[in-house]
């Protein structure tokens, strides 16, 4: 049989000193729990081969030809405090491969056993959290949001011990790369300027190749990462996604969403929403995400300072300008996204006010964000607003303003309604659905996970018989809901 992946491992070949060789722990009985066949197909992989060999490959038991398994160095600001050495403590980079379009991906195993960076942890993962990453990352992709993707989940046949014994599992994921703000922080915090420069050159070659030849590539890279993060976080805000642990080791330089731990989708609209059990101060609350994004980019800018300019003041000015640009870029992306959600094409200055006024109504009435947004297109089609909106005194005035805008659009309200249905999802990975599907899976039944995946990977199309996937959780569920890091 041909090798399953045509590996071409640039990181292993070029970045000596940025990783340590590593290998997977032995596992007694690896079994393929989920294989993402549509993804495998789009990557040009042999689906049949992965069905038969996937359990061994994705648990790290049989090393595919050409793999160079390694654990990467990185540091990170975690909840504001700097940890100078984190690194891949429960992950293994098997290598890189190209898809038929020439796009390069990392293939990484998560939960594959301890490495030099495990700091006393077991390096392993349990089935629930690995399925959680699979489901939510695939949901995010279907929503059109840049993200790492999940190729497979393998159960290992051995328990992992958290508060209780849980079935162990490994997630195989692909990413544009696993380079993070924290990767730069690792080398910069050791005053390793040559190392930081080498990492910069590698990052540029891999993600922003056009910058290689501009006069100041370091400034170019900073601005490119700022732009990518501003666009990404604005997209999270559009769908009510709360990452939950926006530490700088979880900020990918590619601009992909990475590391689905305690993440969750907001039900009722409230900027203060926090689900993560470890986020006691609400640092990573829904409404704080753009501000935290900017804070994380300030940490990135700091790592680049010696490369931005030889003169300290000039370097600092470059950093300040880039961070200011984050605010502008984020605001523009947010307004652009909201305009689309409201069916508006022709921009006007007060579009952000129109959107914010609507969200104020959502918040005051404690309305479910996703279903209420989706319901607006029915109003554009002439239906009465649903009870939650109708009960808000401010809604009548708001809706008159909004409908007047749609009337001025080419083809008016009905065309706007169709556009809205293409960007306001019906099905998102709602917390209560994810939890109950994962509970069933841990109990041995993957059916509910499959059903949920079917709904959320087609988020905009009405799927007959799938009403329960569209409904908000009962209030009592949302009030007490907490997510965990899954380590
Ligand atoms: P994460 O919360 O997945 O972003 O991980 C933060 C850091 O903790 C990374 O350095 C991980 O490699 C490490 N880590 C998380 N879980 C484990 C584990 N079970 N064993 C060893 N290291 C871990
Ligand atoms: Mg992480």
Question: Of 306, 339, 372, at which residue does a domain stop?
Answer: 339
Q: Are residues 69 and 150 in the same domain?
A: yes
Determine the structural domain holding residue 168 and report its residue range: 10-178
Question: Distance, CA 181 to ligand 2 centroid (Å)?
Answer: 11
Write down the pLDDT at residue 352: 97
| 162 alpha carbon, closest ligand | 1
* Same domain as 29, residue 148: yes
d(CA 475, CA 464): 25
In this structure, are 87 and 217 located in the same domain?
A: no
Which residues line the pocket of ligand 1, CB cutoff 6 A?
Answer: 86-90, 117-118, 121-124, 249-250, 259, 261, 485, 487
**148 to each of 5, 22, 252, how far by Cα in Å?**
18, 22, 10
Q: Has residue 45 been placed in a domain?
A: yes
> 276 and 148, same structural domain?
no
Q: Could you tell me if 241 and 126 lie in one domain?
A: no
Task: Note whether 159 and 307 are same-domain residues.
Answer: no
Does residue 155 share a domain with residue 115? yes
pLDDT tens digits along 202-227: 999 999 999 999 999 999 999 999 99
Predicted TM-score (pTM) of the model is: 0.98
Residue 269 lies in a domain: yes
pLDDT of residue 479: 77
* Domain identity same for 135 and 244: no
**82 and 138 within one domain:** yes
Measure the CA–CA gap between 107 and 47, rounded to whole angstroms.
16
Active site residue 249: yes
The distance from CA 279 to its chain's CA centroid, rounded to whole angstroms, is: 18
Return the exposure string of 351-361: e unless at least 16 CB atoms fall within 10 Å of the residue's CB, then b: bbebbebbbeb
Last residue of a domain, one of 296, 324, 339: 339
| Residue at a domain's end among 140, 162, 178 | 178
Is the domain of 104 the same as that of 49? yes
**Residue 451, pLDDT score:** 97
What are the residue ranges in the chain where pLDDT is below 50? none
* Same domain for 166 and 52: yes
Residue 198: other Cβ atoms inside 10 A: 17
Surrounding ion ligand 2 within 5 Å at CB are 250, 259
- How much is the pLDDT for 381? 98
> In the chain, how many domains are there?
2
132 falls within a domain: yes
- Catalytic residue of the set 88, 249, 279, 368: 249
> 155 and 33 in one domain?
yes
Burial class (CB in 10 A: 0-12, 13-18, 19+), 180: buried
Measured distance CA(119)–CA(117) in Å, rounded? 6
pLDDT value at residue 487: 56
């Amino acid at each position: 049989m041909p090798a399953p992946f045509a590996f071409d491992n640039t990181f292993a070949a070029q970045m000596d000193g940025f990783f340590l060789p590593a290998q997977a722990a032995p596992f007694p009985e690896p079994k393929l729990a989920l294989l993402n066949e549509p993804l495998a197909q789009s990557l040009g992989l042999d689906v049949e081969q992965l069905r038969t060999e996937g359990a061994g490959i994705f648990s790290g038991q049989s090393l595919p030809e050409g793999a160079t398994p390694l654990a990467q160095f990185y540091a990170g600001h975690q909840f504001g405090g700097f940890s100078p050495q984190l690194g891949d403590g429960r992950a293994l980079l098997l290598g890189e491969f190209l898809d038929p379009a020439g796009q390069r991906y990392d293939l990484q195993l998560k939960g594959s056993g301890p490495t030099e960076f495990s700091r006393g942890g077991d390096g392993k993962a349990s089935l629930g959290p690995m399925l959680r990453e699979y489901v939510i990352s695939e949901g995010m992709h279907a929503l059109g949001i840049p993200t790492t993707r999940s190729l497979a989940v393998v159960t290992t046949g051995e328990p992992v011990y958290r508060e209780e014994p849980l079935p162990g599992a490994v997630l195989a994921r692909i990413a544009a790369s696993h380079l993070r703000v924290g990767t730069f922080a690792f080398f910069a915090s050791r005053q390793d300027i040559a190392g930081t420069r080498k990492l910069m050159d590698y990052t540029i070659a891999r993600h922003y190749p056009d910058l290689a030849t501009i006069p100041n590539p370091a400034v170019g890279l900073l601005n490119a990462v700022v732009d990518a993060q501003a666009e990404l976080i604005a997209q999270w805000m559009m769908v009510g996604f709360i990452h939950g642990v926006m530490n700088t080791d979880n900020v990918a330089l590619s601009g992909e969403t990475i590391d689905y731990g305690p993440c969750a989708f907001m039900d009722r609209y409230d900027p203060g929403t926090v689900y993560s059990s470890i986020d006691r101060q609400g640092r990573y609350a829904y409404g704080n995400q753009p501000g935290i994004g900017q804070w994380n980019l300030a940490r990135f800018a700091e790592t680049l300072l010696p490369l931005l300019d030889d003169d300290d003041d000039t370097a600092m000015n470059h950093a300040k300008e880039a961070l200011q640009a984050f605010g502008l870029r984020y605001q523009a992306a947010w307004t652009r996204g909201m305009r689309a959600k409201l069916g508006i094409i022709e921009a006007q200055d007060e579009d952000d006010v129109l959107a914010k006024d609507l969200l104020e109504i959502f918040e005051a009435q404690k309305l479910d964000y996703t279903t209420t947004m989706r319901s607006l297109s029915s109003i554009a089609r002439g239906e009465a607003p649903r009870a939650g909106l109708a009960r808000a005194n401010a809604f009548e005035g708001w809706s008159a303003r909004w409908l007047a805008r749609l009337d001025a659009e080419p083809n008016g309200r009905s065309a706007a309604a169709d556009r809205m249905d293409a960007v306001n999802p019906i099905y998102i990975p709602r917390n209560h659905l994810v939890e109950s599907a994962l509970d069933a899976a841990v109990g041995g039944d993957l059916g509910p996970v499959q059903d949920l995946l079917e709904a959320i990977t087609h988020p905009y199309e009405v799927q007959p018989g799938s009403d329960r996937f569209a409904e908000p959780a009962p209030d009592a569920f949302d009030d007490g809901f907490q997510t965990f890091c899954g380590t």
